[in-house]
Structure 1
Amino acid sequence: MKKILFATLMFLTATFAHAQNEEARQKIESAKIALISERLGLTPEDAQKFWPIYNEYSQKRRENHIEFSNARRNFNPETATEQETQEMLKLGREVKERQLKLEGEYSDRMLQVIDSRQLMSLQNAERDFKKMLLDRLDQRRQQQQNSNEQLRKQNNERMRNKRNN
């Protein structure tokens, strides 16, 4: 019974964490869409044509990234053979080449809907959004570290007070 309860609890925790991650991912995606829409100044007609192309491009780019991330996660340079290391390097080059080809293909497709200035604005908006996201993550990490430090100090103070009493 305890094992079933524990397994159920773990499942619910994992499900909740996944739901939170999915919710966070949706919020991030919405913010990205808002930033890009603002920067590009798309007309409703252009937006209707642009977003399906951009979303397809983003999905393919994400798949490319996931493939390489999974390979890197399973690669241990300390135990890898020379051949495995060569294969990893080759995969890295292939992924970069695919990414470059993807950018060229989708840039051409997007230029049928938006002009070259908007395409440059898109690239700048993506870079700015990534920087903003990383900055926020750094801020959160810093806040978490500060919070942990405060808790440590409070706990130390409590321990001192208990000893003195």
Structure 2
Amino acid sequence: MKKYITLLVVLFSMVSIAQPSKEKIEKVKALKVAYITKELSLTTAEAEKFWPIYNTYDEKQFELRHNKMKTIMKKYKGDGLDKLSDKEASTILSDMESIDEELVALKKKFTREAKEIIGAKKVLQLKKAEEEFTRTLFKQYKGKDKK
């Protein structure tokens, strides 16, 4: 749970600071699609069935992580956290837990659907490819930040 909250805070911070343009987001998505397609060696038939469900999953995941979590985090931005009552804090934690549960359910549904299309082995390869892509992206971002 701590990992997820930390990750969400980091992602929220990056989004808040960077505020990437729609053009940059689309460029990253295109690079991600190319990277995943290459790493998974998807056939044309697999790609036709896989990408629509992946894109739906990715959009819903982004919405949950970014939009809903951003709304929650705005409530205690700055010194707002110190001003929260225990009841308000409990409500926020409950909201965060609900989002986490939605994310888990979404991931399970996607994994089940993807497994039917590309098989279990390629689903595992997908998870690895996503992690490697994200790691590479962070390294590039971190490198640009130092310049």
Q: Same fold (TM over 0.5)?
A: yes
Structure 2 residue 83 is the aligned partner of structure 1 residue 79: yes
Listed one character per residue, the Cα deviations across residues 77-113 of structure 1 (whole Å, up to 9, x for unaligned) are 1111111100111111111111111111111111111
Corresponding residue pairs, total? 125
Aligned letter for 1:96? D
Which runs of 5 or more residues in structure 2 are unaligned? Answer: 1-18
Show the 5 A alignment for 1:35-74. 35-65=35-65, 66-74=67-75
Name the counterpart of 1:117. Answer: 121
**C-alpha separation between the residues in 1 aligned to 2:126 and 2:71?**
28
Pairwise CA distance, 1:68? 1.1
Name the counterpart of 1:89. Answer: 93
TM-score (norm 1): 0.72
Name the counterpart of 1:31. Answer: 31
Which runs of 5 or more residues in structure 1 are unaligned? Answer: 1-17, 144-165
Show the 5 A alignment for 1:5-20. none
Give secondary structure in 2 for the equivalent of 1:112.
helix
Listed one character per residue, the Cα deviations across residues 18-75 of structure 1 (whole Å, up to 9, x for unaligned) are 8x71111111001100111011110001100000000010111011112012211222
RMSD: 1.3
Aligned letter for 2:69? F
Name the counterpart of 2:143. Answer: 139
Name the counterpart of 1:130. Answer: 134
**C-alpha separation between the residues in 1 aligned to 2:132 and 2:117?**
22
**Fraction of identical pairs, as percent:** 23
Q: Moved runs in structure 1, 4+ residues, more than 6 A?
A: none
Higher relative CO (Cα under 8 Å, sequence separation at least 6) belongs to 2
Give secondary structure in 2 for the equivalent of 1:42.
coil
